[in-house]
Structures are given as structure tokens and as C-alpha cells.
A and B are shown apart, each in its own frame.
Chain A
Amino acid sequence: SQTIHQWPATLVQPVGSPLSLECTVEGTSNPNLYWYRQAAGRGLQLLFYSVGIGQISSEVPQNLSASRPQDRQFILSSKKLLLSDSGFYLCAWGGQGNQPQHFGDGTRLSIL
């Protein structure tokens, strides 16, 4: 069966520090992959999605970037975090051909 792993679960970082969040999927090949951010009490904001290795689409302008170095690996990065980057970051896979997206457990990022 397919599983999705996301880490770390919680992260506290100072303003201006770099960021790297990792997401891996097992049990499926060539999945669509997504990064979402959710501010406290708010909806899901799509940040990036990828349909294949090295293929990244950005939905909103920001100081974050994403990379997909391997088929089942999706990385969210920043060179310099801002206070506004705080939130709950969710990785997801799927969403192809009338199939649902499945979410990882999320990373709660706090910027101090």
C-alpha cells in the first residue's frame, strides 16, 4: 500500500535561517506531489506541485522553493525564513485521474 512520510513533525527556526522539509512517498511510482501551507485556523494554500522529477510548478510568489530530485521525494526549502512563513506545512500525493490526494502528517513550523 502507499504511504507518505513527512518530517520533521515540529520545527522552530529563527528569522533569516534556512529551511528544508522533506517528503517521501512509498508504494507508488511517478505520483503527483504537492506542498500546501495552512495558517492557523485557515484553509489549504497550494504552494507547489510536481508531475515528475525536476518538474515544479509554483502557485504563489514567495521566498520558498521546491525540488524533486527523485521520483518519490519532494523537498520544500528556503534560504531565509520570514515570520510570515510560520504555519502547518502539508505534503500530499495523488490527485490524478479522479483520485483523491493523500496527505502526510504535516510539519508545524514556528518562526521566532
Chain B
Amino acid sequence: DTEVTQTPKHLVMGMTNKKSLKCEQHMGHRAMYWYKQKAKKPPELMFVYSYEKLSINESVPSRFSPECPNSSLLNLHLHALQPEDSALYLCASSPSRGVGSYEQYFGPGTRLTVT
């Protein structure tokens, strides 16, 4: 199984809602990532969990909150988002530390619209 799955595929939420994005992989990878991608732009790294340790991109607003319940699962909790947060949210995983950590397997993404 070389697949990263993400749910939901599409999400529309209001600015006062609380929602969560989910990501799962069963490849035994020990690093998982959240990226944000706006239209016609490259993915921007938001968070990294490596061996259950979180690294944060300091520019990510606190209305985004990651959670890693175990090494196969990664959640992104959303609260009080703004319309400019509308984007494709990509989850990825990678097999190991070092050079192997940069060969990342991406999920299909969640298309988020904030109204």
C-alpha cells in the first residue's frame, strides 16, 4: 500500500466553524507533513511531524492546529478561518530521516473553501 489518503475531498466552512482534516498512511513512514497550496502556486510547508515530534512553520496562524494521534494518522484542526485560507491542503509522508525524508508521498488533498 503506497497510498496517502485524505478526508474529506472537499470542505466548505463558515468563518465561525470548527472542522478537522484527516490524513492516513500505512507505509510505516515516520514523518508526515501538512502543506497549503493556492491556485497556480507551489505547496507551502505548514507543519512537520517527524518521529512524533512537531516542527512548526512560524508563519502559520494559530487558527490551524495539527495533531498526530499515532505514526499513521495526522489531523489538521481548523477554527475561525478567514476567506484567504481557502486553498488545497495536502498531506504527505516520507519513509525516513536524511535524504529519504525528501522523497515525499502526497495525498490527493482536501479542497477547502471558507465563506
B is bound to A: no
